[in-house]
């Protein structure tokens, strides 16, 4: 009976280590940091959303240079969130 409970706790520990250890995706990282009330993560999420919105607008206009600009900006923001450990 206790073994089943322990394995559940171990699974949770593994997930927490993934979130803090770097082998998680940026969306998961942002989500976890937002749950903790991280204002920097909130600003990053809003900036990424803005970039995605601009990418969609540029694509709809057929503006490949604008699309590339916003793609690069978004990629850089996402990389900075992954590099920032809180």
pLDDT tens across 10-66, in order?
Answer: 444 444 444 445 446 888 999 999 999 999 999 999 999 999 999 999 999 999 999
Answering whether pTM is above 0.85, one says no
Task: Quote the domain boundaries for residue 70.
Answer: 2-83
Domain count, the chain: 1
Listed in sequence order, the residues at least 6 apart from 30 whose beta carbon sits closer than 8 Å to its beta carbon are: 41, 44, 45, 48, 81
């Amino acid at each position: 009976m206790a073994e089943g409970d322990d394995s559940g706790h171990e699974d949770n520990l593994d997930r927490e280590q993934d979130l803090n250890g770097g082998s998680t995706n940026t969306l998961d990282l942002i989500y976890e940091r937002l749950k903790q009330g991280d204002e920097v993560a909130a600003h990053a999420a809003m900036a990424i959303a803005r970039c995605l919105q601009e990418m969609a607008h540029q694509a709809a206009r057929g503006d490949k240079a604008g699309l590339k600009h916003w793609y690069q900006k978004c990629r850089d923001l996402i990389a900075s969130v992954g590099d920032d450990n809180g």
